[in-house]
Structure 1
């Protein structure tokens, strides 16, 4: 794998800059040749004097502009003439000036807030979320690809550990007993506990049928030996099994069965204890800590993270499919709300404006420092090459224009002198 070129050799030359430099130099050489030829044949005709004057002044103008352009970036002819190689000598000051320009015009909180005042981020997000499948594909695919690449590039083990630790710490800080008590009380008040209770009764009946022989053996082992001698242990086991079976049937068919009422009273008392009784709440918190310390729960949290991460990457890799399902319907509904609800739009735009302005206030100085230190870290040749190549064609046009303007002025002066 090849390494990238060093910074000092990075030379993004502007297209045509080298050709323009050759043209400007060639024009200067041409004017010198014309001057010497005109000087040689000056006595043949008065018009040759005008040609000589043009070429002479053109050489002076071209050389002056060559000197000026060269002095910006280096010492002309390598001579340490004062006030030349201006940019290399002042690169640190240029970096500071550039950084201050960025800070003054872009990275001050009031400036950022003022520039964002007319930007409708909420409306743009709403239109994007409502876009039918296939529209704004490049934006959506680009954003999705970025999200997928980000999740795939992050250290899975470390990030998963952070997520798991964050979830566990959040649960530890949360007192779950009152929440469980409130949820159970609400379920009882709205009769949402009834299906769960009936399901428990049906499960008990099925468990009784599946373990009938085991129950019979347990009863026979515990009856008195006198009953065994009398042959009553079989009848006792039949009575117990039949009684349990009748109890489950009666509980399923009679909503007002005494046992069901007792169970519902016990559930109501538990809901109250979870919310008000310190001893019960302490026991629930202890159980919660034991569960969080259990390795099985830790593995379960790992599984949740992996499934969530895979789902995010899968949806990001295929954004059109994700937008086409239920998620797409939800996002489109959110988009409609963002675009039509003026109050929500105003609140989101205000939040975004404050967030960006806050980032500018918090990190603007760091960005400015980064720019300044980056420019200061460049060697003189690097910054010279970059700036010269950025404006290369225009610099050579200055030389060409100086040559032509100088020649024109020379002709005018020669004409005035002849008159």
Structure 2
């Protein structure tokens, strides 16, 4: 047997002390009028008809007032409880019909408020993009929203387990890198370098670096020549040979570096362009590049890097999100401001947002109106019966007590009219 649903609490705002005082005051007024009518009726009975014809008129009025007061008291009381605690049929209507009332209320809301036509008609009178833009553009709002987004990002990151995501991210990166052909990527990168003449700049930098390297290690190279030279060759001969050879190499490097049209540069350019063409057309060259890529990806350092990719990325993003002065937070705030400006000034964006707001609202209403109706009915069904009756009476009871007052007055007037007509006809 399923466990009963827990009782849902009612909103504390429904328990208003001021309303309770007004209800008690109106009950006293209505009861007091009944007491006055009863006292007048009793006085007329005690006086008797001998006191004059007026007694009959007053007695009929008081008697009808009492009947009207009692009838309306019974009707009002029967809404919330059994009158005089007697189990009279068709009384205590709200406690008995609470669940049905809740279901009917949910259906009423669904059929009359939660419909596409009603919602779209209402949205037609609302400047959705304008209001949204004004909300986003309020002073300090972009920064607060950027901070809220950072807090949300941190919460989501805390929910994600690094032990689960780190291997998954590493495997995803590994599969993507293995599945991506390396030759076209290398060819395109080299094409961009060649098209911008960057390869010549790279060659110039390499030549300059080589020249500095030779100069920095001049003594080392001279020592190597001395070790390789026969013992019978004098040192001054080795010095002269080394100086001339070293100077020739340095001058050659400077010459190539300073002459854009040097033959070496033309050969270098032709060879590089031929290699780019081979990368795109020669299967053997492509296979060689793939082998190099595979060896690189299998290197322990690369495996370690891919394994730590998720952690490094997450920590970097969270650190930037937590810093109010970070470029990330600043950029998010700027995006929010730009969006607010577009929502307020760009007619195409405004029309797009307005149209999609209509579509989204219509979809949500059609999709979830039944769920909202069930929510209303289910919530009312879980309310405590006695507490529900008491609080509903607190909300509308003051007006219902006027029914008792009106019943007393109208009943008395009706009794007077009926008695008068009877006397005229008699």
Partner of 1:69: 76
> Is structure 2 residue 366 aligned with structure 1 residue 357?
no
2: distance between equivalents of 1:74 and 1:352? 47
Question: Which of 206, 212, 218 is the matching residue for 2:216?
Answer: 212
Unaligned segments of structure 1, at least 5 residues: none
Question: Which of 18, 23, 26 is the matching residue for 1:24?
Answer: 26
Q: Between 156-165 and 392-401, report the one with greater CA deviation.
A: 156-165
Shift of the 364–41 alpha-carbon distance from structure 1 to 2, 3 Å rule, reads closer
Question: Which of 252, 255, 258 is the matching residue for 1:253?
Answer: 258
Question: Which of 86, 92, 95 is the matching residue for 1:88?
Answer: 95
Q: TM-score, normalised by structure 2?
A: 0.68
Q: Secondary structure at the match of 1:346?
A: helix
Deviation at 1:170, TM superposition (A): 7.8
Shift of the 47–107 alpha-carbon distance from structure 1 to 2, 3 Å rule, reads same
Cα RMSD between the aligned structures? 5.0
Deviations 1:199-228 (A, max 9, x none): 66666666x27x934x8658956x795427
Question: Which of 340, 352, 359 is the matching residue for 1:347?
Answer: 352
- Computing the radius of gyration from Cα coordinates, the structure with the larger value is 2
Matches within 5 A, 1:166-315: 169=172, 172=175, 175=180, 177=182, 178=184, 181-182=187-188, 184-191=190-197, 208=213, 212-213=216-217, 217=220, 226-227=228-229, 229=231, 230=233, 249-250=254-255, 252-257=257-262, 268=273, 279=287, 280=289, 284=293, 294-312=303-321, 314=323
Deviation at 1:19, TM superposition (A): 1.7
Question: Which of 84, 101, 104 is the matching residue for 1:97?
Answer: 104
Deviation at 1:62, TM superposition (A): 3.5
Question: Which of 407, 414, 423 is the matching residue for 1:402?
Answer: 407
Deviation at 1:22, TM superposition (A): 1.0
Alpha-carbon contact 2:37-2:65 (below 8 Å) kept: no
Q: Secondary structure at the match of 1:16?
A: helix
1: distance between equivalents of 2:173 and 2:53? 98
Alpha-carbon contact 2:80-2:92 (below 8 Å) kept: yes
Shift of the 265–288 alpha-carbon distance from structure 1 to 2, 3 Å rule, reads farther
Deviation at 1:376, TM superposition (A): 3.4
2: distance between equivalents of 1:353 and 1:199? 61
Tell me how many residue pairs correspond in the alignment.
402
Q: Secondary structure at the match of 1:294?
A: helix
Alpha-carbon contact 1:103-1:368 (below 8 Å) kept: yes
Shift of the 167–407 alpha-carbon distance from structure 1 to 2, 3 Å rule, reads farther
Deviations 1:99-145 (A, max 9, x none): 3334434555566555545554444445556x4xxxx3486577556
